[in-house]
Each structure stands twice: as structure tokens, then as C-alpha cells.
């Protein structure tokens, strides 16, 4: 109390007391007129009381903290939009999540693939307007246009489209299974195994009447089983599968080179033209078996995609969630083998499509893993666009589509290597 502060006399139940204006002493504390009854604090006229904290008459309310209302306006703050929306169907019994961006990207890719297909069919020595191509695809138009579109050009375009879907989806499956963006049929020996079997059938005549489709399936399946068996050590891991697959791929390449050196001139030329990845001269005999295979393999790849996502969390976490890790991994490997085998048998080992398409689709959809459907559509778009470039780059000469995809895919491979090296996740 300062000397200039005047004293005032107050009379309480215990007698007169000295008080200072603005403060309460003695009896005020004893009777609790300011604290217990809280005439100043309980009503919130000076500061804020417990009721003010709960109701928010002076400062911020508890409801604002718990429900997210703002103190200034009292309105509810908008919630962020969900990236995935769950759904459940009564019949058929099915549940899952819908990702709006992924659906929008897939729809956009469908439109882009159809436009690329029409563009692919329209170009050539006999140019056809896009409107006439669209009508010919539905079976209407003059006889000459129908003959050129449906019998001469459409089989090649459909072979490229279906092969691109198969390569893109197989790459997405393998990259998700191994948790490595460098894992693709080109890297772990599946494509090379299919190529060795087909070249052996061409050069040595060991096709046994099975054709390139069956030989490609046999070669890819054999190399996959070798890779899986050699990588097994109380289970398999993505890192071991990649390392063993690289070794198996080099063995298959050496065997292919030996077969080419042993074979005759014409057989070697036919095999070399197929090994580069080529759509020249493709007809419905190559497109139809690939289409039948995709009818079975594409739904299988989409159904096992939900189980593969748990593998992204690691083997221990996936086992804790009830996932049979080795069974899922083997199923994914066999599905990827079937996709790449039929695609390789129809169009040859088109380079880098299975490596680049899943990474492009993943960045378009902004997901943590390569989405199989978007990756397949991206692969189809890449193959069709590359084949158009191969046909039109040098007038009068049709290059194999594998050359164009190799030129475009090599920078993607270098970028992935740099990215993995910087991230420090080599496997």
C-alpha cells in the first residue's frame, strides 16, 4: 500500500476494518463475497469465470474448442474433403473405398486412349477422317472404309492397346509387391524368359504346335518360378526378388543371343524383328488370344489390389492385419506373369512400358502405390502414341514400336534411379 492511498472504513460483522478502494480484505475473504459467491467473477463482469470458460461469454468457449466453432463468429469451420469415400453394397456383397481423383483420372485416360486409337487407325497411305473412323468402328460406313479400318488397321491398333494394358498392369502389380519403383517385368527376367522361349520356338522349331502365345506363357512362367525359388529363404522379399531377377534376366539374354547365333539367317531376322517389340503385320490371330487372356487376368489383378495394399506396410504389419503374405505375393507374381507373357507373345518385349506406365499413373492419381487400372490405361496410351510416332517418324519406313518406347523410357529409368538413390530406398 502506497502512502498516497487513502484508507476507508467499512463495518463488517466483526467490527470496523480498514480497506483500500478497489480491493477486498478481511471479511470479504472470510465470507467469500467475491470468491465464494463470485459477484465479480461468477457473473463474468470483470474477467471470466468457470461459467465464462464453459459458456464463452468473455473469451473462448469450450464448445468452440470441442466442436470447432470460431470465437469471433460462432460458425462451424469447413471440414477438409475426404480423399477416399467408403461404400458398401448389399448385393453383391461388396465394400471398398471410392477415390474421386483416381476415378476422374481413369475416365480421362479412357477418353485419351479412344482418341489415340482413332488417330492410330486414321493415319496411313490411305488417310481416313476421324469421323469416318468412328463410324467404321461401329460398323457403319462405305465398304472400302470398313475394309481398311476393321481388317487392315484395327487388328494392329488393338494388339498395341491390349499389350499396353497388360504391360502397364503387370508393372503396377510387381512394383506394389516389391515396394520398389524399379521392379518391372523388364528388370526381373519375366520378359526375357518369354523372349527366350519364343526365340527357341522360332529358331529351333520347338513350338510343338503351341504357337508363340503358349511359348511366351511357358517361358515367363518358368523364369518366374526360378526367380521365386531362388529368392526363397523362409519366405521372399521384394529386394531378393529384384536381385535374383536381374541375374535370371541376364541368363535368358545370353541364351537368346546363343539361339540367334545358331539359327539361320531368315530365322534370326524373324526373331530379331520380334525381340525389339513390333506391331508390324499384326492381325486378329495375335489380338484375340490376348483379349481372351485379359478378360480373366484384368479382373483378377483388380481384385487382389486390395490385398496388395497391406504389403506396402511391410510384411510384419501385413501379417498382423491377417494377410497371408506369401500367398498374396505368389498370386500377384503369377497374375503379372500371365499378363506379361501374353503381351510379349503378341507384340514382343516392348521395352520400358511396364516400368514407366505405373509411375506416370501413380503421379496422376496421387496415390501411395501404382493403381493397376490407371497404369494399364497409361500403358495403352503410351504404346499407341509410340506406334504412331514409329510409323510417321521416317516417311516410307515403319520402325518397331519398341525402339520409340526405349528412347522415351530410358530417361524415365534414369530419373527413377536418381530418385531412389536420393531417397535411400534401394530395395
Q: What is the residue-level pLDDT of the chain in tens, covering all 427 positions?
A: 444 444 444 444 444 444 444 444 444 443 443 343 333 343 344 343 444 343 444 343 444 343 444 444 444 444 344 456 666 666 656 566 667 888 999 999 999 999 999 999 998 888 888 888 988 888 887 888 888 888 889 999 999 999 999 999 999 998 888 888 888 888 888 889 988 988 888 887 766 556 777 888 888 889 988 988 888 877 677 778 888 999 999 999 999 999 888 877 888 887 887 888 889 888 888 899 899 999 999 999 988 877 777 777 777 777 777 778 778 888 888 899 899 989 988 888 898 899 999 999 999 998 888 899 999 999 999 999 999 999 888 877 888 899 999 888 888 878 877 876 676 554 4
Q: In sequence order, which ranges of 56-210 are alpha helices (DSSP H)?
A: 62-67, 100-122, 130-137, 143-146, 154-178, 190-204
CA 130 to chain centre: 32
pLDDT score of 77: 44
The grid coordinates of residue 290 equal: 490376348
The grid coordinates of residue 343 equal: 503381351
Q: b or e along 154-183 (b: 16 or more beta carbons within 10 Å of the residue's beta carbon)?
A: bbbbbbbbbbbbbbbbbbbbbbbbbbbbbb
DSSP conformational letter for 379: H
Q: Are 149 and 336 in contact (CB under 8 A)?
A: no
Find, among 350, 347, 351, 369, the residue nearest to 359 by Cα. 369
pLDDT score of 2: 44
Return left, alpha or beta for 398; rule: phi > 0 is left, psi -120 to 50 is alpha, else beta.
beta
Q: Quickly tell me which residue has 490411305 as its cell.
A: 126
pLDDT score of 6: 45
pLDDT score of 377: 95
CA distances from 368 to 49, 118, 179, 371 (A): 49, 33, 10, 9
**Sign (positive/negative) of CA torsion 104, 90, 372, 317?**
positive
Q: Quickly tell me which residue has 510379349 as its cell.
A: 344
Kindly report the pTM of this predicted structure. Answer: 0.74
Coil, strand or helix at 16: strand
Q: Quickly tell me which residue has 498395341 as its cell.
A: 160
CA distances from 304 to 177, 236, 299, 308 (A): 11, 18, 9, 6
Amino acid at each position: 500500500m502506497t502512502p498516497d492511498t487513502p484508507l476507508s472504513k467499512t463495518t463488517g460483522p466483526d467490527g470496523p476494518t480498514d480497506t483500500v478502494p478497489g480491493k477486498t480484505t478481511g471479511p470479504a475473504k472470510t465470507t467469500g463475497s467475491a470468491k465464494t459467491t463470485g459477484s465479480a467473477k461468477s457473473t463474468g463482469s470483470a474477467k471470466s469465470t468457470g461459467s465464462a470458460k464453459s459458456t464463452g461469454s468473455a473469451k473462448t468457449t469450450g464448445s468452440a474448442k470441442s466442436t470447432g466453432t470460431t470465437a469471433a463468429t460462432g460458425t462451424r469451420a469447413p471440414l477438409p474433403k475426404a480423399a477416399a469415400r467408403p461404400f458398401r453394397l448389399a448385393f453383391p456383397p461388396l465394400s471398398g473405398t471410392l477415390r474421386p481423383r483416381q476415378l476422374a483420372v481413369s475416365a480421362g485416360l479412357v477418353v485419351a486412349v479412344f482418341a489415340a486409337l482413332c488417330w492410330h487407325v486414321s493415319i496411313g497411305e490411305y488417310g481416313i477422317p476421324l469421323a469416318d473412323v468412328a463410324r467404321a468402328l461401329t460398323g457403319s460406313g462405305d465398304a472400302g472404309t470398313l475394309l481398311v479400318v476393321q481388317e487392315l488397321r484395327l487388328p494392329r491398333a488393338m494388339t498395341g492397346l491390349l499389350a499396353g494394358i497388360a504391360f502397364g498392369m503387370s508393372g503396377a502389380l510387381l512394383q506394389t509387391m516389391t515396394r520398389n519403383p524399379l521392379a518391372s517385368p523388364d528388370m526381373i527376367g519375366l520378359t526375357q524368359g518369354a523372349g527366350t522361349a519364343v526365340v527357341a520356338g522360332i529358331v529351333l522349331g520347338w513350338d510343338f504346335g503351341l504357337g508363340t502365345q503358349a511359348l511366351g506363357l511357358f517361358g515367363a512362367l518358368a523364369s518366374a518360378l526360378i526367380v521365386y525359388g531362388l529368392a526363397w529363404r523362409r519366405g521372399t522379399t521384394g529386394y531378393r526378388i529384384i536381385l535374383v531377377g536381374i541375374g535370371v534376366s541376364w541368363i535368358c539374354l545370353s541364351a537368346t543371343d546363343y539361339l540367334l547365333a545358331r539359327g539361320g539367317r531368315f530365322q534370326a531376322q524373324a526373331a530379331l524383328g520380334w525381340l525389339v517389340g513390333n506391331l508390324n503385320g499384326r492381325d486378329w490371330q495375335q489380338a484375340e488370344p490376348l483379349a481372351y487372356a485379359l478378360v480373366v487376368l484384368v479382373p483378377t489383378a483388380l481384385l487382389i489390389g486390395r490385398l496388395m495394399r497391406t504389403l506396402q506396410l511391410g510384411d510384419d504389419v501385413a501379417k498382423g492385419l491377417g494377410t497371408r503374405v506369401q500367398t498374396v505375393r505368389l498370386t500377384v507374381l503369377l497374375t503379372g506373369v500371365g499378363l506379361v507373357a501374353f503381351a510379349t507373345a503378341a507384340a514382343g518385349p516392348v521395352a520400358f512400358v511396364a516400368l514407366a506406365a505405373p509411375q506416370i499413373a501413380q503421379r496422376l492419381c496421387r496415390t501411395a502405390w501404382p493403381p493397376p487400372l490407371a497404369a494399364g490405361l497409361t500403358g495403352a496410351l503410351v504404346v499407341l502414341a509410340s506406334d504412331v510416332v514409329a510409323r510417321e517418324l521416317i516417311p516410307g519406313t515403319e520402325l518397331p514400336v519398341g525402339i520409340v518406347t526405349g528412347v522415351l523410357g530410358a530417361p524415365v529409368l534414369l530419373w527413377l534411379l536418381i530418385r531412389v538413390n536420393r531417397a535411400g530406398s534401394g530395395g
